[in-house]
């Protein structure tokens, strides 16, 4: 059982408290809507008076999922109210439930049940970030971005953040490392071409060219996470000789560019060797018969 956190460990009115309570307001599944508006009550409010939360990190909503939720709301009504705070001009600002709000508008509702709570701007942003982390469909990059926002804004260590989101420090470090990946690998992760496990392994390598080479191998050879780990281990333990030694740094700039293009194309540590008389070699190593066949297929394209 987790120990109860001291008040001195909280941020503002308590990021830790928000983590344990936000999203778990005492609202039963079937809500009795009050006709009298007060803080802590659930009331029907006009949809047109609800403005979205400007601090909401979530920007993309799946149209198909919204349509399904909209059909359900049109048939059964909205089961779980949205959460809002009152603004001074008679409007309301959304704290949580933007997906429900959007679906209700699609269902042509004019009013929506809303849970009224007090929150200042700082608490609003905290709760928006925390709600973002509670989503099941959050991508690894979205999780990493939210972790970084929490660390930067509230000056948290990774250990402190881990205790607040119930994750180990190692897990926090691994997720944050994804933010350092090249754009092409981030895109592959966002499109689910590779998994979070693949991306974490790639993030351990500091050389972007090596990362891209490994990405190509994962995609072309359909490597599992375990197979990628083994491929990286094999590369690091392979003996070096005249044919596998690192390419000379004395290559002219245009030749280095050609070498990098070949690496990216073949997904292998291609070496371009050039002598002073203009003669040279292109060395393309392979790790298995399967890898050789992959390279031959590329050459035949």
How far apart CA 188 and CA 182 sit, in angstroms, is 10
Between 14 and 122, whose confidence is greater? 122
Token pair 């292109």 is found at 282
> Considering only the top CATH level, what class is 24-121?
alpha beta
| Single pTM value for the model | 0.53
- Please give the full DSSP string across 167-229, using - where no structure is assigned: --HHHHHHHHHGGGS-HHHHHHHHTTSS-HHHHHHHHT---HHHHHHHHHHHHHHT--HHHHH
Q: How confident is the model at residue 239 (pLDDT cuts 50, 70, 90)?
A: low
Tokens standing for residue 250: 């004395």
Crossing angle, helix 196-203 and helix 169-177, to 10 degrees?
Answer: 80
How far apart CA 13 and CA 9 sit, in angstroms, is 10
pLDDT tens digits, residue range 131-188? 666 665 678 998 898 889 888 887 889 998 888 788 899 999 999 999 999 999 999 9
Nearest by Cα to 173 from 130, 204, 137 = 204
| Catalytic residue from among 37, 48, 51, 98 | 98
The region of weakest confidence among 114-128, 179-193, 197-211, 222-236 is 114-128
pLDDT at 296: 79
**3 state SS of 274:** strand
How far apart CA 208 and CA 197 sit, in angstroms, is 18
Tokens standing for residue 91: 């409007």
Q: What is the mean pLDDT of residues 197-203?
A: 95
Q: What is the mean pLDDT of residues 91-98?
A: 87
Does 142 participate in catalysis according to the annotation? no
Residue 13 has pLDDT above 60, yes or no: no
């Amino acid at each position: 059982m987790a120990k109860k956190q001291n008040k001195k460990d909280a941020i503002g009115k308590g990021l830790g408290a928000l983590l344990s309570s936000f999203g778990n307001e005492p609202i039963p599944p079937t809500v009795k809507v009050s006709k009298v508006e007060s803080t802590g009550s659930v009331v029907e409010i006009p949809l047109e008076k609800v403005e979205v939360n400007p601090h909401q990190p979530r920007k993309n909503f799946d149209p198909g999922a919204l349509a399904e939720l909209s059909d359900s709301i049109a048939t059964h009504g909205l089961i779980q109210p949205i959460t809002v705070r009152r603004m001074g001009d008679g409007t309301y600002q959304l704290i949580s439930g933007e997906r429900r709000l959007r679906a209700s508008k699609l269902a042509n509702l004019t009013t929506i049940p809303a849970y009224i709570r007090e929150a200042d701007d700082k608490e609003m942003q905290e709760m928006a970030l925390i709600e973002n982390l509670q989503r099941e469909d959050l991508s690894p990059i979205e999780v990493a971005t939210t972790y970084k926002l929490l660390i930067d804004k509230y000056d948290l260590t990774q250990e402190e953040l881990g205790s607040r989101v119930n994750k180990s420090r190692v897990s926090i470090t691994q997720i944050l490392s994804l933010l350092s990946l090249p754009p092409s690998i981030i895109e592959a992760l966002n499109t689910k071409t590779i998994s979070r496990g693949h991306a974490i392994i790639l993030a351990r390598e500091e050389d972007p060219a090596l990362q891209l080479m490994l990405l190509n191998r994962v995609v072309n050879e359909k490597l599992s996470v375990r197979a990628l780990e083994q491929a990286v281990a094999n590369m690091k333990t392979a003996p070096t000789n005249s044919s596998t030694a690192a390419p000379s740094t004395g290559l002219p700039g245009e030749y280095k560019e050609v070498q990098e293009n070949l690496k990216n194309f073949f997904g292998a540590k291609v070496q371009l060797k050039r002598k002073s008389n203009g003669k040279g070699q292109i060395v393309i190593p392979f790790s298995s018969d399967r890898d050789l066949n992959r390279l031959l297929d590329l050459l035949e394209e």
